[in-house]
Amino acid sequence: MISLQDVTKAYGEQVVLDRFCHVFTTHSFTAIQGPSGIGKTTLLQVIAGLLPIENGRVVMDDQVTNTREQALHPALRHLGFVFQFPALWPHLTVRQNILYGLMRQPHTLREERLAEIISSLEIADLLAKRPAELSGGQARRVSLARTLVTQPRYLLLDEPLNNLDTRLKDQVLTIVSDYWHKHQATVIWVTHEPGEVSGLSPVVRTFCPSGLV
């Protein structure tokens, strides 16, 4: 469960979240739509603990994670974030990027997770490449792989189908759907085309500064 309670987030004078309230229930799949520049990415970044807030609080399960005074470190939130613009480590190979979040795990587990994810996302032949050598669609799949290998409880996806062709879109939808069910994850999917996830029966909501309607 992720609960936002009266959360205010502003960039200088521009208030993007204005006493924002919403509860994402456990194992829910929510698609969020809304015009460009309204605040969808900002909302995800607040939930991930990547941005400070001015007012209110965020609670994840039983833990208060964000207030004006303090924020739980993003790495401690059991959360995976597929960014709108894949932010891969440029100096690391694809293999190293994917395994980054599993650095402290046993070797066998790392290799098992890697093998599973590269086969389902068809990126096995990219492992030795660096991000600058990838196409937009390849980078997006690597970004998804890097997130899913850590098996997050909360999965935030910011327009994850950008730069993918129809076949790869279907593939990503299947992978996210399987992940959602298998891990009982709570999924938040930001999109400009909510129809793209209609097969997953999401709760579709429109972003407003004070909440989702």
Ligand X SMILES: Nc1ncnc2c1ncn2[C@@H]1O[C@H](COP(=O)(O)OP(=O)(O)OP(=O)(O)O)[C@@H](O)[C@H]1O
Which residues would be at the binding site for Mg ion (CB under 5 A)?
A: 41, 84
Residue number, 14 or 184, with CB nearest to ligand X:
14
Beta bridge partners of 32: 190, 205
Closest separation between CB of residue 189 and Mg ion, Å? Answer: 12
Which of Mg ion, ligand X, none binds 30 (CB below 5-8 Å, type-dependent)?
Answer: none
Which of ligand X, Mg ion, none binds 38 (CB below 5-8 Å, type-dependent)?
Answer: ligand X
H or E segment at 211? Answer: strand 211-212
Which of Mg ion, ligand X, none binds 28 (CB below 5-8 Å, type-dependent)?
Answer: none
The window from 23-31, 33-41, 88-96, 147-155 that contacts ligand X (CB under 6 A) reads 33-41
- 11 binds ligand X per the rule CB under 6 A: yes
Closest-CA residue to 189 (of 158, 146, 144): 158
The window from 31-39, 88-96, 118-126, 145-153 that contacts ligand X (CB under 6 A) reads 31-39
- 37 binds ligand X per the rule CB under 6 A: yes
Query: Please, what sign has the CA dihedral across residues 207, 52, 159, 181?
Result: negative
- 16 binds ligand X per the rule CB under 6 A: yes
H or E segment at 12? Answer: none
Closest separation between CB of residue 129 and Mg ion, Å? Answer: 27
Closest separation between CB of residue 166 and ligand X, Å? Answer: 22
Beta bridge partners of 2: 24, 60
Beta bridge partners of 10: 15
Distance CA(12)–CA(2), nearest Å, equals 26
- 60 binds ligand X per the rule CB under 6 A: no
How would you class 210 by CB atoms within 10 Å of its CB: exposed for 0-12, middle for 13-18, buried for 19 or more? Answer: middle
Q: Which residues from 72-131 bind ligand X, rule CB under 6 A?
A: 84
CA 177 to chain centroid, in Å, comes to 14
Beta carbons within 10 angstroms of residue 46's beta carbon: 25
Closest separation between CB of residue 42 and ligand X, Å? Answer: 3
Q: Binder to ligand X among 17, 31, 33, 39 (CB under 6 A)?
A: 39
How would you class 16 by CB atoms within 10 Å of its CB: exposed for 0-12, middle for 13-18, buried for 19 or more? Answer: buried
Q: Binder to ligand X among 8, 20, 40, 139 (CB under 6 A)?
A: 40
Residues in the site for ligand X, rule: CB under 6 A?
11, 16, 34, 36-42, 84
